[in-house]
């Protein structure tokens, strides 16, 4: 085989190797981004849960409303 054939095979392997390397690099960066996004979603869910617990505590802290008060609030579209 001549030098030109070896040169062509070597360059082909280099190009394939670069393509595979760039693919794996991009895939690893995409996985890190997904993990970061999931982490932010978890933080947001925790904040929502804390907010809901706070609202529940305020509701439970109020005295029980009578039927008349509830009907009045319902008629005023507050309930």
Q: How deeply is 33 buried, as exposed, middle or buried, from its count of CB atoms within 10 A (0-12, 13-18, 19+)?
A: exposed
Residue 59 exposed, middle or buried by CB count within 10 Å (0-12, 13-18, 19+)? exposed
User: How many distinct helices (H) and strands (E) make up the chain?
Assistant: 2, 0
Q: What is the pLDDT along the chain (79 residues), one digit of tens a residue?
A: 688 899 999 999 999 999 999 998 887 777 666 666 666 666 666 666 777 777 777 766 777 767 787 788 778 776 5
Question: Can you give the pTM of this predicted structure?
Answer: 0.40
């Amino acid at each position: 085989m001549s030098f030109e054939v070896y040169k062509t095979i070597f360059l082909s392997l280099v190009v394939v190797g670069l393509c595979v390397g760039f693919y794996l690099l991009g895939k690893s960066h995409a996985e890190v981004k997904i993990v970061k996004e999931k982490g932010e979603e978890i933080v947001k869910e925790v904040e929502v849960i804390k907010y809901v617990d706070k609202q529940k505590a305020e509701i439970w802290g109020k005295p029980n409303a009578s039927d008349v008060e509830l009907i009045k609030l319902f008629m005023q579209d507050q309930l």
